[in-house]
Amino acid sequence: MKLLVRGGRLVDPAAGRDGRFDVLIEGGVVASVAAEIAPPAGCEVVDATGLVVTPGLIDMHVHLREPGHEYKETIRTGTAAAAAGGFTSVACMANTAPVNDERAVTEFIVTEAARHGFARVHPVGAISKGMAGEQLTEMGEMAAAGAVAFSDDGRPVVDTELMRRALLYAQHFGRPILQHAQDLFLSGNGVMHEGEWSTRLGLPGIPGLAEEVMVARDLLLLAETGGRYHVMHLSTARCLELVREGKRRGLGVTCEVTPHHLLLTDQAVADTTFSTNVKMNPPLRSEADRQALLAGLADGTVDALASDHAPHHADEKDVEFSAAPFGIVGLETMVSLGLDRLVRPGVIGLGRFVELLTAGPARILGLETGTLAPGRPGDLTLLALDREVTVDPATFRSKGRNTPFAGWKLRGAPVGTILGGVPVRLP
Amino acid sequence: MNAESWHRKDLLGIADLSPEEIRLILDTAESFREVAERPIKKVPTLRGKTVINLFFESSTRTRSSFEIAEKRLSADNMNFSTSGSALEKGESLVDTALNLEAMSPDLVVIRHRAPGVPHLLAARLRSGVINAGDGAHEHPTQALLDAFTIRRHKGRLDGLTVTIVGDIEHSRVVRSNIHLLTKMGSRVRVAGPRTMLPPALEALGVEVHTELEPAIAGADVVMMLRIQLERMNRKLFPSSREYFQRFALTRERLGAAREDAIVMHPGPMNRGVEIASDVADGPQSVILEQVAAGVAVRMAVLYLLSGVREEEG
At B95-137, the pLDDT tens digits run 888 888 899 999 999 999 999 999 999 999 999 999 999 999 9
Judge whether residue B307 has pLDDT over 90. no
Paired strand residues for A409? A390
Residue B312, pLDDT score:
43
Q: Would residue A59 show up in a list of annotated catalytic residues for this protein? A: no
First to last CA, chain B: 21
Look at A195 and B15 and tell me if their CB atoms are within 8 Å: no
| B chain contacts of residue A201, beta-carbon cutoff 8 Å | 115-116, 137
Q: Are A411 and A344 in contact (CB under 8 A)?
A: yes
Look at A199 and B200 and tell me if their CB atoms are within 8 Å: yes
Judge whether residue B197 has pLDDT over 80. yes
User: Which entry of A308, A318, A340, A386 is annotated as an active-site residue?
Assistant: A308
Residue A9, pLDDT score:
98
**Distance between CA atoms of residues A151 and A167, nearest Å:** 11
HSE, CB side, 13 Å, CA atoms: give it for residue A48.
34
Residue B91, pLDDT score:
79
**B contact residues 122-161, partner A, Cβ 8 Å cutoff:** 123, 134-138
**Distance between CA atoms of residues A177 and A137, nearest Å:** 13
Residue B86, pLDDT score:
54
Least CB–CB distance from A200: residue in B119, B135, B204: B204
Least CB–CB distance from B203: residue in A196, A318, A323: A196
Residue B93, pLDDT score:
87
Residue B85, pLDDT score:
54
Q: Per-residue b/e over A156-169, b at no fewer than 16 CB within 10 Å?
A: bbeeeebbbbbbbb
Residue A412, pLDDT score:
98
Q: CA of B196: which chain A residue's CA is closest?
A: A199
Q: Look at residues A207, A187, A210 and name the one whose alpha carbon lies nearest to residue A199.
A: A207
pLDDT mean over A140-149:
98
Paired strand residues for A253? A229
**Distance between CA atoms of residues A335 and B125, nearest Å:** 37
Paired strand residues for A30? A25
Judge whether residue B311 has pLDDT over 90. no
Look at A319 and B94 and tell me if their CB atoms are within 8 Å: yes
Judge whether residue A202 has pLDDT over 70. yes
Touching check for B94 and chain A: CB below 8 Å? yes
**Distance between CA atoms of residues A309 and A258, nearest Å:** 10
Look at B201 and A199 and tell me if their CB atoms are within 8 Å: yes
Measure the CA dihedral A384/A390/A396/A401, to 10°.
140
| B chain contacts of residue A274, beta-carbon cutoff 8 Å | 115-116, 119-120
Least confident of A153-162, A322-331, B228-237: B228-237
pTM for this model (two decimals): 0.95
What is the residue type of B102? A
Look at A201 and B137 and tell me if their CB atoms are within 8 Å: yes
Query: Taking all residues of chain A, what is their mean pLDDT, rounded to a whole number?
Result: 98
Residue B309, pLDDT score:
66
pLDDT (tens digit per residue) in A55-71: 999 999 999 999 999 99
Give B88's pLDDT tier (boundaries 50, 70, 90): low
Q: Look at residues A201, A189, A348 and name the one whose alpha carbon lies nearest to residue A270.
A: A201
CA distances from B226 to A176, B204, B223, B242 (A): 50, 21, 10, 15
| A chain contacts of residue B117, beta-carbon cutoff 8 Å | 320
Contacts of B225 (CB under 8 A, 6+ apart): B164, B165, B166, B167, B168, B171, B173, B174, B265, B266, B274
CA distance B7 to chain A (A): 20
**Distance between CA atoms of residues B157 and B152, nearest Å:** 10
Least CB–CB distance from B114: residue in A194, A315, A320: A320
Residues of A with CB under 8 A from a CB of B: 194-196, 198-203, 205, 273-274, 315, 318-323
Q: CA of B118: which chain A residue's CA is closest?
A: A320
pLDDT (tens digit per residue) in A25-37: 999 999 999 999 9
Judge whether residue B161 has pLDDT over 50. yes
CB atoms within 10 A of CB B230: 8
pLDDT mean over B147-167:
98
CA distance A320 to chain B (A): 6
The torsion angles phi and psi of A4, rounded to 5 degrees, stand at: -115, 125
DSSP state of B155: S
Q: Are A339 and A305 in contact (CB under 8 A)?
A: no
| Residue with more model confidence, B36 or B86 | B36
CB atoms within 10 A of CB A387: 15
Least CB–CB distance from A202: residue in B94, B123, B137: B137
Query: Hey, of A191, A197, A199, which one would you mutate to test binding to chain B, going by the most B CBs within 10 A of its CB?
Result: A199
